[in-house]
Chain A
Amino acid sequence: EIVLTQSPATLSLSPGDSATLSCGASQNVERNFVAWYQQRPGLAPRLLIYDASRRPTNSPDRFSGSGSGTDFTLSISRLEPEDFAVYYCQQYGSPPFTFGPGTRVDMK
């Protein structure tokens, strides 16, 4: 099973700031099959990035993903008030699919 770690656990920022969130895998993720999700309180996770760097049509362009192998990054430029949430990475390169523990982006 691939174990995912995320850092930092919490990020305290202000609207308009940029954010960089990291996701590390215990082994190479096949075909860089990594996704990023945003979860707001009381809601289901929402897909932001898939295949490490591809953005669904309904994901704002201030979200971008990068990385390969075991190290992946989600970048958020110009934080909007609605971006303060928890972010999870997920690998689906090899079952069992696994999720990271999350990074909370708090408003400073």
Chain B
Amino acid sequence: QVQLQESGPGLVRPSETLSLTCSISAQSLSTGYQWAWIRQSPGKGLEWIGSTYRSDYTYYNPSFESRVTMSIDTSRQYFSLRLKSVTAADSAVYYCAVGFGSFDSWGQGTLVTVSS
């Protein structure tokens, strides 16, 4: 069973960069899983941000593509999200999740508020 835990600042200033990490335990990163970031806000529901696959292939939701970077650190067992130029619309609970397209393991989520 994969255990996931998100971490990062809960408050980000507008126009700055949101940075989150997801630490993984109990399973190697090289299993063929997709490693994804998903967010949830009252206004937009659940939104898939992007997935990293096989450590060398990443694909993003076009809605975020110009602002987002995801990466995996296979040696340290974590993967990360960077979302730049944030606005209040980026305030949400951010989840990391893994699976083969459907997501069978999720972190508990971390609330990020964008505010000055």
Contacts and interface: CB of A to CB of B under 8 A. Distances in A.
Given A35-B102, A47-B99, A50-B104, A99 B46 contact: yes
Contact of B104 (A56, A88, A95): A56
Interface residues of B, number: 20
Interface string B77-116: 0000000000000000001010101111011110000000
Interface residues of A, number: 22
A99 B48 contact: yes
9 contacts: A33-B101, A44-B95, A44-B108, A44-B109, A45-B95, A50-B99, A51-B102, A92-B102, A99-B45
**Interface SS of chain A: helix, strand, loop or mixed?**
loop
Contact of B61 (A45, A90, A95, A101): A95
A24 interface: no
Contact of A96 (B63, B106, B109): B63
